[in-house]
Amino acid sequence: MAPAARGKRPQVVVTAVSTKGGTGKTTTVMLLALAAAQAGHRVLVVDGDPQASAMRWAELAGELPGVTVVPMPSTRIDKDLPRAGAGHDVVLIDTPPGYGDRRVIESALRAAHLAVVPMAPRYADLGRLVPTLDLSAHCGTPAVLLLCMVTRTRSARELVEVCRSDEVQVNVLETVVPATTRIADAFGERTVPGPFPAVWAEVDALVLKAARKAGRRG
């Protein structure tokens, strides 16, 4: 990330990614976009998924104040984003499900300062986390885990502890996304349900902290 000019906020680019399908990437991207817009930022959502779920969300909502959604299921996201993202404070990228088109996912990762990996607290999902982290590392993009739909079962609590232990070796956001119907049925929402403003604040702080470090090194 290039050092930011003094007093100027650097653009924040975040990609949601998982090599496991059905983890809530589109929901994560869109609700983070709404939270960032609510915080006063100009937000661009890049829909890199050929299924165009983010585009359908925007069409259903009719209007998303502060948020623009564009289709870009391309292997050139990292090359085209500087032009497409001009004038936006925040860019959030949705990626294909599962492995999808690996070239599109890699391009989206290379474009980002941070990869957010949504994951439910299930051991089957934990087993699929390693390929996602390996892919992110291959593209040189740091990753952070977002625990989603956390239930109040003993096994879920134990798995949360495992994810936050040194055994997994991945950063985990402090804010978790609870299992509520409001979030599960959020498709097409214009407002921000649940804890996503707090999730956005954490993600934003991580990227800006990295920008400040890069500026000091520069």
- Number of domains present in the structure of the chain: 1
Res. 129: pLDDT tops 90? no
For residue 214, the model assigns a pLDDT of 60
What's the pTM value of the predicted model, to 2 decimals?
0.90
Res. 7: pLDDT tops 60? no
Q: pLDDT (tens digit, 9 = 90+) per residue, 200-218?
A: 999 999 998 877 766 543 3
Residue type, 117: V
Q: Are 3 and 101 in contact (CB under 8 A)?
A: no
User: pLDDT > 90: what percent of the chain?
Assistant: 59
Does residue 5 lie in a domain region?
no
For residue 215, the model assigns a pLDDT of 53
pLDDT band of 178, cuts 50, 70, 90: confident
**Domain CATH number, residue 171:** 3.40.50.300
Does residue 16 lie in a domain region?
yes
Q: Which residues are within 8 A (CB) of 164 and not within 5 positions of it... i.e. 6 or more apart? A: 172
Q: In the predicted model, what is the mean pLDDT of residues 190-199?
A: 91
Quote the CA–CA distance of 76 and 111 in Å, as a whole number.
Answer: 9
Res. 19: pLDDT tops 80? yes
Does residue 38 lie in a domain region?
yes
Q: pLDDT (tens digit, 9 = 90+) per residue, 65-104?
A: 999 999 999 999 999 999 999 999 999 999 998 767 899 9
Res. 169: pLDDT tops 60? yes
Pick from 30-44, 48-62, 128-142: least confident: 128-142
Does residue 7 lie in a domain region?
no
pLDDT band of 4, cuts 50, 70, 90: very low
Res. 195: pLDDT tops 60? yes
Res. 117: pLDDT tops 90? yes
Q: Does 77 or 119 have the greater pLDDT score? A: 77
Does residue 1 lie in a domain region?
no
Does residue 4 lie in a domain region?
no
Does residue 2 lie in a domain region?
no
Domain of 141, in residue numbers: 12-217
Dump strand ranges (E) for the chain: 12-16, 43-47, 67-71, 90-94, 114-119, 143-150, 171-172, 177-178
For residue 213, the model assigns a pLDDT of 67
Per this entry, what is the length of the chain?
218
Q: In the predicted model, what is the mean pLDDT of residues 179-191?
A: 86
Does residue 6 lie in a domain region?
no
Quote the CA–CA distance of 116 and 86 in Å, as a whole number.
Answer: 22
